[in-house]
Structure 1
Amino acid sequence: MRDNLARQPIDTFAVQEVGTVVAALGRSLRVRAGSGEYEARRAVSCLVEPELGDRVLLALHDEGCHVLAVLEREGREGGAPVRLTADGPIEVSAPAGHLTLAAEHGVRIVSPGETAIASGKVRVAATEASLAVGAMTYVGEQLAAQVDRVKTVAREVESVAERLVQRLERAYRFVAESEQVRANYVEVSATTAVSIKAKTTIVSGGELAKIDGGQIHVG
């Protein structure tokens, strides 16, 4: 370990100047300072991406020069946003605290790849929310929802469940064409009355068909 550190070059000194970015040459920048023009690289600590016309802090040393920071940018009020960039992945860590992202007009997360959120607990609070997803998969052990009104519009709905229980004050079903119920045992129980109306009514039993009541009216 000590041998590796000993073989690394040691910069003895650096001179700092203030200059203006006059050209962008790929990953390098052309900076005009009081002592001349230099081809500089952006320092790792300089996360603000320099643009043409920016006044920057330039460090001149034995191995070349680096742009340390962007000092001023003309026409920033109401213009394009300040862009933070890095040559590789960026990781923001707060091991002993929490991380807060705050903005007056909104926060956006944009990525052409995968966006993953892993947390012990996730809370979302908003006055209004909208979700547009091409395909969605939910896997969980329990789902509880409390809402005042739910409206669903779908071309096709399929539900598979081992047990389904519904407790309703009133239920209305409007079926335009046909409805089929296939079960091993069907029971319909009403406290007051059951009414079945149709142009044609067919009741058939393979072994037994029984009608029982205090009064039976036919016709």
Structure 2
Amino acid sequence: MRDNLARKLALPPQEAATVTGIAGRVLRVRSGSGEFEARRAASCLLDPGLGDLVLLAHHERGSHVLAVLERDEEAPARLSADGDLEIAAASGRVTVSGRDGIDMLTPGEAVLAAGTARVSSQRADASIGVLNYLGDQVTAQVDRVKTVAQSVETVASRLVQRLDRAYRFIARSETVRAEYVEVEARAAYVVKSETTLMNSAALTKIDSSQIHLG
């Protein structure tokens, strides 16, 4: 034990070392003083990689890697922490940018809470299994909307549509059930069918300046 203590006291407090092995947060490093097992310091968020030049600190409880000093420029950089990781700015803004893209991955829940949220993109693709939306108002201004669905159900207390032209192509049947139906055509109202049926329980009235049958 005295030999180990004397050896530790003989080591420099800090020195540069090269990473030769990785086992979780335990690193195998080689320096001018020899080879050591060192743990990543809590402040060393950048994951060391094989061959990286790191700053090694020796103390009475062992050795710790404080920081990554140099690494291959082509090697990716990864920030990690054992527990929860929070990035916060007491004042000002936080910006995350990437020249080639940004990926956000989690097997758990992703939460976005903001006073105002803005999304600006030339193209967006979304693949969602189940979407639940709760809001007070939706305003959309688009040039074209195309919807392909097996089933569409709309429930509303009031529906208003203002269209320049409307075309409906129904392959099989259409059913309308209402207490009161009014159709107003300024120029002409045309009904064409192989069979036309009109049933009224109380009254059927046709009023026109001219009526042609047959």
**Same fold at TM > 0.5:** yes
Alignment of 1:218 onto 2:213: yes
2:133 to 108, 129, 138: 138
1:173 counterpart residue number: 168
Q: Could you tell me which amino acid in structure 1 is paired with residue 44 of structure 2?
A: C
2:179 to 174, 178, 184: 184
2:29 counterpart residue number: 31
Shift of 1:30: 1.2
2:63 counterpart residue number: 65
1:87 to 57, 67, 82: 82
Shift of 1:82: 0.9
1:40 counterpart residue number: 38
Aligned counterparts of 2:104 and 2:25: Cα–Cα separation in 1: 25
SS of the counterpart of 1:151? coil
Structure 1: gaps (5+ residues): 1-13
Shift of 1:159: 0.3
Aligned counterparts of 1:169 and 1:25: Cα–Cα separation in 2: 68
Structure 2: gaps (5+ residues): 1-11
Deviation larger for 81-90 or 167-176: 81-90
Pairing 1:90-129 to 2, within 5 Å after superposition: 90-129=85-124
1:161 counterpart residue number: 156
Q: 1:7-40: per-residue Cα shift (whole Å, max 9, x none)? A: xxxxxxx711111111223331111111111111
2:189 counterpart residue number: 194
Q: Could you tell me which amino acid in structure 2 is paired with residue 214 of structure 1?
A: S
2:15 to 6, 10, 17: 17
Q: 1:172-211: per-residue Cα shift (whole Å, max 9, x none)? A: 0000000000001000011111000000000110111111
Equivalent pairs counted in the alignment come to 203
Aligned counterparts of 1:159 and 1:104: Cα–Cα separation in 2: 42
2:9 counterpart residue number: none
Aligned counterparts of 2:116 and 2:18: Cα–Cα separation in 1: 48
Q: Could you tell me which amino acid in structure 1 is paired with residue 108 of structure 2?
A: G
Aligned counterparts of 1:128 and 1:90: Cα–Cα separation in 2: 31
Deviation larger for 24-33 or 106-115: 24-33
TM-score, structure 1 as length reference: 0.90
Q: 1:113-148: per-residue Cα shift (whole Å, max 9, x none)? A: 110000000000111111111110100011111111
Percent of pairs with identical residues: 55
Aligned counterparts of 1:161 and 1:73: Cα–Cα separation in 2: 61
Aligned counterparts of 2:19 and 2:188: Cα–Cα separation in 1: 86
Aligned counterparts of 2:99 and 2:49: Cα–Cα separation in 1: 25
SS of the counterpart of 2:13? strand
Q: Taking structure 1 as reference, are residues 148 and 25 closer, same or farther at Cα in structure 2, changes over 3 Å only?
A: closer
SS of the counterpart of 1:189? coil
